[in-house]
Amino acid sequence: MGELTQSELYSPRTQPVWRTLLSWLSFFFQIFIQMLRALGHYPLLSFSSSSSSSSSSSNSFKPLPVVELQEHDSAVEITGADSVADDSIRKLKVVLDLDETLVCAYETSTLPAVVRTQATEAGLQCFELECLSSDKEGDGTPKVNYVTVFERPGLEEFLKQLSEFADLVLFTAGLEGYARPLVDRIDVENRFSLRLYRPSTISTEYREHVKDLSCLSEDLCRIVIVDNNPFSFLLQPLNGIPCIPFSAGQPHDTQLLDVLLPLLKHLSHQKDVRPVLYDRFHMPEWFRKQGIPTSI
């Protein structure tokens, strides 16, 4: 076979093939250039999602803090409630409810094992309790109930810190045969100066087992009650703090240390707790909506 001449390599038949190939290369090159220009307007996702989006959304949405109170040594301006020096006012009296406020309790025989397992694995502290019931056995002796008690997260630390600046009173609508041994377990340091049980509650035309704070103090300026049941303090709505009920299904509850303790610290520096609590909860209006008139 003879060698191909230069004229044969670049014959007219091969030129259309080269032109077509160059056209396609030019077409793809133009597309590539347009893609590069377009990408210049879009930052990398790893940066835009964390910086540009957060800066733009900060003006439209700002999460509220758990507690909206300033520290007591800051300037707190609340109408009708002036902060005063610690040595010029009496110690704050804090009345604490028991069930669903500090603990939650279930009859052991009716508590599903899976509920207890999930609660304890999630970190809840619990213990078994034998308590006397108001019911009687066949021979007339008090019936013994077996109860499983779950402590609200942070309970021990809450009572410890609270007792440093407040006089603690336990006031429960539970019967003494049940509540006394329970409180003995959670209050081994005897931080409660007084324990009141169901017989100390009163009945009104609107609710039973109401806790009348006037039996603890004639001056209501420096007394507050914490209860998951607001009807417990319907006689003194301006002295009540309604707290979220606690159950075994809330292992990550933070009410005691993150919400109630800062609020109570703030109240301990007020000459009168009622204006502060009214501004925060507006309980008289809430009771009126429930059909319960108040004299406030």
Q: Which residues are catalytic?
A: 97, 99
Question: Are the beta carbons of 132 and 143 closer than 8 angstroms?
Answer: yes
User: What's the rounded Cα separation, in Å, for the pair 135 and 163?
Assistant: 35
H/E element holding 121? Answer: helix 113-121
C-alpha distances (whole Å) from 158 to each of 95, 239, 259, 265 are: 14, 20, 11, 11
Q: Phi and psi of 160, rounded to 5°?
A: -65, -50
Which ranges constitute the DSSP H helices of 122-272? 155-163, 176-186, 261-267
Burial of 11 (0-12, 13-18, 19+ CB in 10 A): exposed
User: What's the rounded Cα separation, in Å, for the pair 135 and 133?
Assistant: 5
